[in-house]
Chains A and B, each alone.
Chain A
Amino acid sequence: MSTAVVAPSEEVPAPVRPAPKSRAAVMTLGLFAVAIAVMLLSLLSLRFGSLEVTTSDAWNAVFHYSRDTATYEETIVHEMRIPRTIIAFFIGGGLAVAGTVMQGVTRNPLADPSILGVSAGASFGVTTAIFVLGVSTPSQFVWFAFPGAALASILVYGIASVGRAGPTPIRLALAGVVMSSLLSSWTSALLLLSEQTLDLVRFWSVGSVAGRDLDILWSMAPFLIPATLACLLMGHQLNVLSMGEESARALGMNTQRVRLVSSALVVILTGAAVSVAGPIGFVGLATPHIVRSIIGADYRWILPYSFFVGAALLTSADTLGRVIARPSEIQVGIVMAFVGAPFLIILARRRTVAS
């Protein structure tokens, strides 16, 4: 008999044995190496962009910046590239960690925060705010994008998770697509009603870290940073969950509670990220796979590595988007879709995922 749904993937690793001390040392060293690599990529992000600057401009902008004597190039690096690099770092890291937790908890290799309908949810929140409450200051939109995105992801995740089968790849993907379609149709209906909304809302359809004030990041930081830290601490729970529901229960874990807490964390992280940078997909999808393929299956290590690799991925994608369309830019959300969608397709072609 065939079922319409895909059984949870068997790709998830076997129980993790306590790692020997030397392994821990290697992993810690590796983590430092990755962190340094991210720093270097961040420096590249400061160095390259639509405006041609020299390495010394970038250096001065970071280490010897003085508002009064700065050249144009130094100011641009200081005021535009530093904020967006910091935002890309935290959003990339946060989304990657969220994706890792989601994949670990759902044991679904295709789980990614972006398929939760967050983008449509954020647009819906913003449109409703503009239309119903008359909000028109972009800095206030973040407070409507966040609940919109969170609501959409709770609904998608909830509907797809009901029942023992849980959120399988197909279920989650379909629920996300359909929720997006529903919310966008409502958004569309509102768009047709007035002149104010269309221009404001189309802005929310593409993820970007350009021109975002660091203030927006700080206003979301009370959600973003604790949720990221809490996710990073979930390594042990994810390791236990990866042995399967029954084994986890046998080991005395309250699996329901772990699922609930981790889902809440993912929703908060994703909602906060989309409020700052708009919808950015595939960071959460690709990063855990990259990390797992390199360092193995221990979530206590996967999580911190994912943070840095995700940060690196988004920072690089943003830098790339700035240099390929001079004098204009391509938004990081679009670059990530082009980098990430093939990744999804490659994953989908794996026997374990789709058959």
Chain B
Amino acid sequence: MANLFSAIGMDETRTFRGSWFSHRINLRVMALIILCIAILILLMLYAITLGAVPLTIRQVWDATWGEGDSRTLLVVRTLRWPRIGAAVVIGAALALSGMLFQGIARNPLVSPDIIGIDAGATVVAVSWIILTRDTSGLPLVTFLGAIVTAMVIYLLSWRKGASPNRMILVGIGISSMAGAVTSFMLVKYPLEQIRPAVVWTMGSIYGSTWRDVVIPGAVILVTLPFAILLMQPLRAMSLGDNVTKSLGIPLESTRLAVIIIGCALASVAVAFAGPIGFIALMVPHMARMIAGPQSGGVLVLTGLLGGIMLLVSDTVALHFLPVSLPVGVVTSAVGAPYFLYLLYRSNSSM
């Protein structure tokens, strides 16, 4: 494991061993969390002032607290804040799910979106959009699609326990099948019907309402405490199954708990934003790089960084590109080369 971390630019072997059984809250991590919260707040305050309707900071501030004309209130409270909020919570959910999955897979190159959950959710969402044209029920069906896919992958990977590597390979098999059905739907139906579906598959958070903030936010609030508690056994598990057992940690149930939480987070993200790639993959790396190996504090930091990343990506996609693009295109364009670089580095050092 250690050489892998050094391979991806985190020469943390010493810290890794030194803080192994430490329960103390690392002061450095604490400072980083506070810093990230500050950055996140500043970014949100900056993003809220951007938009087609010119508003002063004063107007935005007043409107946020309910003062101003109805037009300003609509822009600030109904349009801008939900979109910013959705970017933050969905980015956080993605990053957290990635951290949890990389923890159990003991492989820093996986994330729930890569191993099939997004493909499963996509086939359900695309079919739903094409066949019903209804967007209000979409998040719920997509969520169910993601959860069912996750369950199928888990069950098919089960063979005296669910080996993480088996999950990756089974997940890629499921992805191929789901991808085939998605392609089938997109080829079968005429342009008018598939266009909204095609745009959905690119991953986007436009048209967010407060529902898109509250539900993913609630899922994070419910799961985060459990996830933090699970970080300790997860760290032990990274030493290998035997070490884990000798420490008296129930291997399979810990793994299952992590998978359930990770899948819930990934599913809620894909349900409300479509398949936004690479946040789940990249952000945990960044968090470990700046704050050291996984711990409850680093997990919180990962969530914050995920929120920052998606908010920045969406703001760039919406306001700073010559043509507006779905945020998923932006995250892929940045994230995929980064991933391939990681893969390249982890290979060459072996």
Chain A interfacial positions (CB closer than 8 Å to B): 1-6, 110, 114-115, 155, 159-165, 169-171, 173-175, 177-179, 181-182, 184-186, 188-189, 191-193, 198-199, 202-203, 205-206, 281-282, 330-331, 333-334, 337-338, 340-342, 344-345, 347-349, 351, 353-355
Contact = CB atoms under 8 A, between A and B. Distances in A.
Contacts of B201: 188
Contacts of A198: 191, 195, 198
A186 B168 contact: no
Given A192-B325, A202-B187, A334 B347 contact: no
B340 A4 contact: no
Contacts of A202: 183, 186-187, 194, 198
A174 B110 contact: yes
B165 interface: yes
Contacts of A181: 114, 277-278, 332, 336
Nearest to B166: A354
Contacts of A353: 169
22 contacts: A4-B4, A110-B169, A160-B343, A163-B349, A163-B350, A169-B169, A173-B168, A174-B343, A181-B336, A185-B328, A188-B202, A188-B329, A202-B194, A205-B187, A206-B180, A282-B176, A341-B174, A341-B177, A342-B173, A345-B169, A348-B170, A354-B168
Given A2-B238, A182-B332, A182-B340, 9 more contacts: A171-B347, A174-B110, A174-B168, A186-B333, A202-B187, A206-B180, A345-B170, A354-B168, A355-B165
A185 B202 contact: yes
B323 A193 contact: yes
B46 interface: no
B350 to A, nearest CB: 5
Given A182-B333, A186-B333, A349-B156, A206 B347 contact: no
A260 B309 CA distance: 40
A64 to B, nearest CB: 36
B180 A4 contact: no
Of B1, B201, B350, chain A has the most CB atoms within 10 Å of the CB of B350
B2 to A, nearest CB: 7
Interface string B335-350: 0110110011011111
B184 interface: yes
A341 B329 contact: no
A181 to B, nearest CB: 5
Contact of B172 (A171, A173, A355): A173
A206 B108 contact: no
Interface string B298-324: 000000000000000000000000010
B233 interface: no
Contact of A334 (B156, B184, B238, B323): B184
A174 B109 contact: yes
Given A179-B340, A349-B159, A349-B170, A337 B176 contact: yes
Given A4-B107, A160-B347, A202-B194, A189 B325 contact: yes
B181 to A, nearest CB: 7
B173 A345 contact: yes
A312 B187 CA distance: 26
Interface string B94-116: 00000000000011111000100
B332 A1 contact: no
Contacts of A160: 343, 347
A165 B109 CA distance: 16
A353 B168 CA distance: 12
B157 interface: yes
Nearest to A193: B323
A175 B347 CA distance: 12
Q: Which 4 A-B pairs give the minimum distances between C-beta atoms? A: A182-B336, A337-B180, A185-B332, A348-B169
A164 B350 contact: yes
B343 A171 contact: yes
A186 to B, nearest CB: 7
A316 B337 CA distance: 39
Given A162-B348, A174-B109, A348-B166, A341 B277 contact: no
Contacts of A188: 198, 201-202, 326, 329
A3 B4 contact: yes
A348 B173 contact: yes
A1 B198 contact: no
B343 A175 contact: yes
B13 to A, nearest CB: 12
A100 B2 CA distance: 35
Contacts of A163: 347-350
B173 A334 contact: no
B187 A185 contact: no
Contacts of B250: none
B273 to A, nearest CB: 15
Contacts of A184: 332
A345 B155 CA distance: 11
Given A173-B168, A192-B325, A202-B194, A330 B184 contact: yes
